[in-house]
Structure 1
Amino acid sequence: MSVEHLSGYQARDYAVVDYKMYQDQDTGLSFRGPEPVVEGGNYVTCLGAAQTFGCFCERPFPAILQDRFGIPFVNFGYGGAGPAFFLRHPELIDFANRGRAVILQVMSGRSESNSVYDSGGLEYITRRADGQKLSAQQAWADLLAQEPPPAFLPPPAGKALRMFVGPPHVREILAETRANWIANNRELMDRLTVPVVFFYFSRRAPDLHKTGKFAWWWQRYDSENAMFGDYPQLVNQAMIDATARKAQDYVHCHSRRGSPQPLIDRFTGGPARIDNSADRKDLSVETYSENDYYPSPEMHEDAADLLEPVLRRKLEWRISSGVPQAMAS
């Protein structure tokens, strides 16, 4: 039985939301609760990362859809997960295949392995050369630092070259990482025998990169954050085009409604103070009272509104075989 937690978010976010975490008996992994009660195959499985999990959100899109359809939408959102994480846990795939459909989130590319780093499908990765574990952000920052701008160029020209062209080795590893992401998503879809809805959920369009207040349409290399872009980091339209055709449907939710989200302490009614180090000891102490990264509650409503009609078309043929009539409303 495998127990491996990058982040369960409960310790960090408890002042805002109680995620009612439970431990899955087949894998030993902890997921957001309440623990689902399923009867036969009458459920939908949601595979994804923190955006599916629903950080700082009382009712993420799986819970909203569960209310609308009247059947369980099992939330297997896992902090920092990429497609390779679910390939490593065939019990979750087997569970999904006993259900009616799967919502598969478009997950981050920074959770993917390459020839330099082994991720295990999570964002907390291992450097192959020395076995050191570090966050993906630190790992890619180190990789960029190994190739400084050419010394023979004046600083402005060197900075421009780095920003627009990038270090050759970093470009090579980035291409490898993206290819692995595509391959693992395609393999995961091959292993899923029920209808799959591939779901893009972000504050940015797939080809729009964003860090802070600035957005751009080209790949940048001047820092790891600029290279990543907003969630899902490293993922662009070409990667989605190469992957989505394997799914039965593709749903795109690009929204910023309600973001940034003020975080309210549910015990005091005042602003919450969130500390990342309470959940990730590798992260520095940094407190904040506003969620400007994860989807807001309003964005989860937008997600459910877009997913609902697609899922109704997928599930309506099941009505004659005993699915609750609410599914046909």
Structure 2
Amino acid sequence: MTYAVTAQGALEYYPCRYGRSRVLFRGPRRPLDDPYIAFLGGTETYGKFIEAPFPALVEKAVGRPCVNLGVVNAGLDLCLNDPSVLDTMGRAAYCVIQVMGAQNMSNRYYSVHPRRNDRFLRASERLQELFPEVDFTEFHFNRHMLGQLQSLCPDRFHKVTEELRLAWVARMKHLLTVLGGRAILLWFADHPPPSKPVDQLDGDPLFIDASMVEALRRRAIRVLEVPKSDTARARGTAGMHFSDFEANAAAELMGPLAHEEAAEALTEALTGLLERDAR
């Protein structure tokens, strides 16, 4: 069943903070004293419109506190520029990192908001020289700006996506190295990783392909790919909580069954790791 709710009856996310971070994460807040598992990611990890997103399901299955550090529309800048987030992840027994798109992070072509990573701040001189006909002061969101550049000149736009891919791989390698082989990399999307680079602006995570994920394999303790199953796809938004004006946004996200599928794969991997540690 789909739950279309009023604003008064909307799903409660129990926003909370960890350490000195200014970012509000999904709660209820979990204790950081006992060994815990940290989850970093975007909208799917946060579990927008989902009563029990996969971090909460894993917590029940493995019996360990699971700290949800997912943020709607987050990019890698959320973690790498926030010492409290890095500290929380660094002290976790294990971390699960959702593969996030490459568009929501600062790079040599443009800068994004340090906490609301989907917000466009400014274009660099390099980007202004590449697209001199564009007035970048008109843009507030990265995806909108990138869409305009793509429509103007796909060839020049490809130079931007090449930069985003290079920057994403480099920063992911850095993050995984900092975490010292305690991170599971999770591909959680409605499709498998594409076999070659794709410059289209639909189908999150944007601009990430299989070779980029493979480049990180040696630095992660596990790489799990959990594309949406046909059964989960057929259920659409059944079981999601959203208001009428949020229906289109909800239709683009992973539903409860997809979260259950991700939780099952993660539970199997984490149980094996925790049992190994206990021996």
TM normalised by structure 1 equals 0.71
Q: 2:272 maps to which residue?
A: 313
Q: 2:245 maps to which residue?
A: 274
Deviation at 1:16, TM superposition (A): 4.0
Hey, which of these two has a bigger chunk of strand by percent? 1
Q: Which of 47, 52, 77 lines up with 2:45 in the alignment?
A: 52
Is 1:249 aligned to 2:218, yes or no?
no
Deviation at 1:116, TM superposition (A): 2.6
Give, as a single letter, the amino acid of the residue that structure 1 aligns with 2:91.
R
Deviation at 1:125, TM superposition (A): 1.6
The aligned runs of 1:77-88 (5 Å cut-off) are: 77-88=70-81
Structure label with greater radius of gyration: 1
Asked whether the equivalents of residues 53 and 77 of structure 1 are also in contact (C-alpha less than 8 Å), the reply is yes
Aligned residues: 258
1:307 and 1:14 map into 2 onto residues whose CA distance is 34
2:240 and 2:107 map into 1 onto residues whose CA distance is 39
Q: 1:99 maps to which residue?
A: 92
Deviation at 1:120, TM superposition (A): 4.5
Q: 1:73 maps to which residue?
A: 66
The aligned runs of 1:110-259 (5 Å cut-off) are: 110-120=103-113, 122-128=117-123, 134-147=140-153, 167-193=154-180, 195-207=182-194, 219=198, 227-256=200-229, 257-259=231-233
Give, as a single letter, the amino acid of the residue that structure 2 aligns with 1:105.
Q
Asked whether the equivalents of residues 16 and 263 of structure 1 are also in contact (C-alpha less than 8 Å), the reply is no
Is 1:298 aligned to 2:269, yes or no?
no
The verdict on how the C-alpha distance between 1:194 and 1:145 changes in structure 2, with shifts beyond 3 A counting, is closer
Higher relative CO (Cα under 8 Å, sequence separation at least 6) belongs to 2
Q: C-alpha root-mean-square deviation of aligned residues, in Å? A: 2.5
Deviation at 1:100, TM superposition (A): 0.6
2:219 and 2:240 map into 1 onto residues whose CA distance is 41
Give, as a single letter, the amino acid of the residue that structure 1 aligns with 2:85.
L
Deviation at 1:74, TM superposition (A): 0.4
Q: 1:261 maps to which residue?
A: 237
Gaps of 5+ in 1: 1-11, 148-166, 209-216, 221-226, 266-270, 276-287, 321-329
Which secondary structure state, in structure 2, belongs to the residue aligned with residue 291 of structure 1? helix
1:142 and 1:43 map into 2 onto residues whose CA distance is 43
Asked whether the equivalents of residues 75 and 104 of structure 2 are also in contact (C-alpha less than 8 Å), the reply is yes
Asked whether the equivalents of residues 262 and 291 of structure 1 are also in contact (C-alpha less than 8 Å), the reply is no
2:156 and 2:240 map into 1 onto residues whose CA distance is 44
Deviation at 1:14, TM superposition (A): 6.7
Give, as a single letter, the amino acid of the residue that structure 1 aligns with 2:160.
I
Gaps of 5+ in 2: 1-5, 125-135
Q: Which of 1, 10, 17 lines up with 2:11 in the alignment?
A: 17
1:106 and 1:264 map into 2 onto residues whose CA distance is 22
Give, as a single letter, the amino acid of the residue that structure 2 aligns with 1:144.
Q
2:207 and 2:7 map into 1 onto residues whose CA distance is 26
Deviation at 1:290, TM superposition (A): 7.3
Q: 2:31 maps to which residue?
A: 37
Q: Deviations over 1:295-314 (max 9, x none)?
A: 10100100011111111121
Deviation at 1:54, TM superposition (A): 0.6
